[in-house]
């Protein structure tokens, strides 16, 4: 971890960029009258298991739906302690392809609950979904994004 001096407005969980590197703010120590507010930050490092075959296939499906990175979604997007494989940030939709051996039900439920509490909708797809039923996967993603975008326009 490193210590940096910032201005006001940042809170724990926020992401800041310092000299081109992304950091997440951790709990700040108390305000010091002589030096201002110091926050402890931690460098954001993408998960080691990103770029899997399932993620590549999911990204292919997003491309086939004419979604583009970064205009429509971001890969490996960090939200308050969780990495989202494909995040439609404006719509607050997380697309999560998952291999059975990497994802445990308890861990996924905890992540989904936390993201739901922050207003995110999580779309989970198993390896069978992605490898055997791509049309259904694409339809679910497309319908979800379109529904949210139409609600926003009203």
User: Apex CA 103: angle with CA 88 and CA 87, to 5°?
Assistant: 5
pLDDT-derived band of residue 60, with 50, 70 and 90 as boundaries?
A: very high
- Report the C-alpha gap between 146 and 27 in whole angstroms: 37
Q: Which fold has domain 53-153?
A: Endonuclease; Chain A (3.40.960)
- Angstrom distance (rounded) from CA 154 to CA 15: 30
Cα–Cα distance for residue pair 150/78, rounded to 1 Å = 26
Q: What CA–CA distance (Å, rounded) separates 90 from 10?
A: 21
Kindly tell me if the per-residue pLDDT of 41 is higher than 70.
no
DSSP structural state of residue 114: H
- Token couple for 57: 């296939």
The whole-chain average pLDDT of the chain stands at 79
User: Where does the pLDDT of residue 102 fall: very low under 50, low under 70, confident under 90, or very high at 90 and above?
Assistant: low
Token output for 116: 């739901």
Instruction: Give the integer Cα–Cα distance in Å for 82 and 1.
Output: 18
Percent of the chain with pLDDT over 70: 62
Phi then psi for 35, rounded to 5 degrees? Answer: -120, -5
Q: How far is CA 20 from CA 44, 83, 89, in A?
A: 12, 19, 21
The answer to whether the pTM exceeds 0.85 is no
Report percent pLDDT > 90 for the chain: 42
Domain boundaries, the chain: 2-43, 53-153
């Amino acid at each position: 971890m490193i210590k940096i001096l910032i201005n006001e407005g940042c809170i724990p969980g926020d992401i800041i960029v310092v000299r081109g590197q992304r950091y997440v703010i951790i709990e700040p120590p108390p305000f010091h009258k002589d030096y201002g507010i110091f926050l402890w930050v931690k460098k954001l490092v993408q998960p080691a298991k990103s770029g899997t075959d399932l993620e590549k296939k999911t990204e292919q499906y997003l491309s086939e739906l004419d979604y583009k990175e970064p205009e429509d979604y971001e890969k490996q997007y960090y939200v308050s302690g969780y990495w989202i494989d494909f995040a439609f940030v404006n719509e607050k939709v997380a697309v999560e392809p998952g291999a059975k051996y990497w994802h445990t039900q308890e861990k996924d439920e905890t992540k989904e609950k936390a993201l739901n509490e922050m207003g995110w909708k999580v779309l989970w797809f198993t390896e069978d979904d992605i490898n055997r039923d791509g049309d259904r996967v694409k339809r679910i993603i497309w319908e979800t994004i379109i529904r949210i975008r139409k609600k926003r326009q009203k």
